[in-house]
Amino acid sequence: MAALRTLWAAVISLYDETLVLVGGNLLWVVLNVPFVIVLVALGVLLPGVSEAGGAQTLLIAIAWLLLLLPTPASVALGGLARVAAGPEAPRVGAFWAALKAYSRLSAIAFVISFVVAAALLWNVAFYASLDSILRFVFILWLYGLLFWLCMHLYLVPLLLHVSEPRLPDLYRRAALIVLGHPIYTLVLLIGVVSVGILSIVFLPAYVLVGGSYVALIRAHAFREIRRRHGELPLEPDAQDEVAAL
């Protein structure tokens, strides 16, 4: 299955370039600290956060979202993973080059992505809490949230790939990829969710390789999409599967 092959390819890339990707992951953690502070400050305003377990749940949610949303550090790590997923050996310079080139655009993208994700999540929680027949509307909002999160598997690779990236165009392209490859993308999202939960439970894994592994999944996933559309040569073990699509 293509999605499982993508997840495995990310493991191989992480193993092959461990030292550079661990360094990139540490930089990613440090550079995301300001975003964590802002999100925690916003989160404490929510009802129920001050209750037992509320603060811990908030921190876990923020840690997981940072794996997927396009902060400047995530785009920089994506630039490093993009090289690692290809034939060339990655260098930390790729991290800094991507950070310098896309920091402003990625900061705007992060705000958009977070606001929309928060709005979708709020609607899911609101409708699920109703006692009337309207509570089943939460299913529609849940589908919307899953679709939005799936789009973010491709948003950073698209930003790095397009020569003149514009946010409306990037989100549109990401949505079209999800619509064109729904099962593949959903399996990848399940994998990213699982990896995120495991790496947060085992905190050293999150600090050392969590972000890098998710970035590699996205990089390999985008390369797989490009192969399916003829932009990259097919790997031998993928030819039969793609021909059957």
List pLDDT tens digits, range 110-168.
999 999 999 999 899 888 888 888 888 989 999 999 999 999 999 999 999 999 999 99
Rounded to the nearest 5 degrees, what angle is found at the Cα of 40, between the Cα atoms of 35 and 45? 135
pLDDT band at 238 (very low <50, low <70, confident <90, very high): very low
pLDDT band at 195 (very low <50, low <70, confident <90, very high): confident
Residue 195 inside a domain? The answer is yes
> From residue 22, how far is each of 13, 74, 79, 118, 207 by CA, in Å?
12, 14, 14, 30, 8
Please state, in angstroms and rounded to a whole number, the distance separating the CA atoms of residues 105 and 31: 16
Residue 245 inside a domain? The answer is no
Residue 241 inside a domain? The answer is no
Please state, in angstroms and rounded to a whole number, the distance separating the CA atoms of residues 177 and 225: 8
Residue 157 inside a domain? The answer is yes
Residue 243 inside a domain? The answer is no
Neighbours of 113 (CB within 10 A): 23
pLDDT band at 10 (very low <50, low <70, confident <90, very high): confident
Please state, in angstroms and rounded to a whole number, the distance separating the CA atoms of residues 235 and 216: 17
**In 136-176, beta strands by DSSP E:** none
What is the domain count for the chain? Answer: 1
Structural domain including 159 reads 2-235
pLDDT of residue 241: 45
pLDDT of residue 148: 96
Residues 6 or more apart from 221 whose CB is under 8 A from it?
6, 153, 154, 157, 184, 185, 188
pLDDT of residue 242: 45
pLDDT tens for 79-120 read 999 999 888 888 889 999 999 999 999 999 999 999 999 999
Tokens in use for 123?
A: 């609607």
Residues 6 or more apart from 6 whose CB is under 8 A from it?
188, 217, 220, 221, 224
pLDDT of residue 222: 95
Residue 134 inside a domain? The answer is yes
Residue 242 inside a domain? The answer is no
Choose the weakest-confidence range: 20-29, 47-56, 104-113: 47-56
**In 143-196, beta strands by DSSP E:** none
Whether the predicted pLDDT of 30 surpasses 90: yes
Whether the predicted pLDDT of 35 surpasses 70: yes
Whether the predicted pLDDT of 60 surpasses 90: no
Residue 214 inside a domain? The answer is yes
pLDDT of residue 51: 61
Rounded to two decimals, what is the model's pTM?
0.87
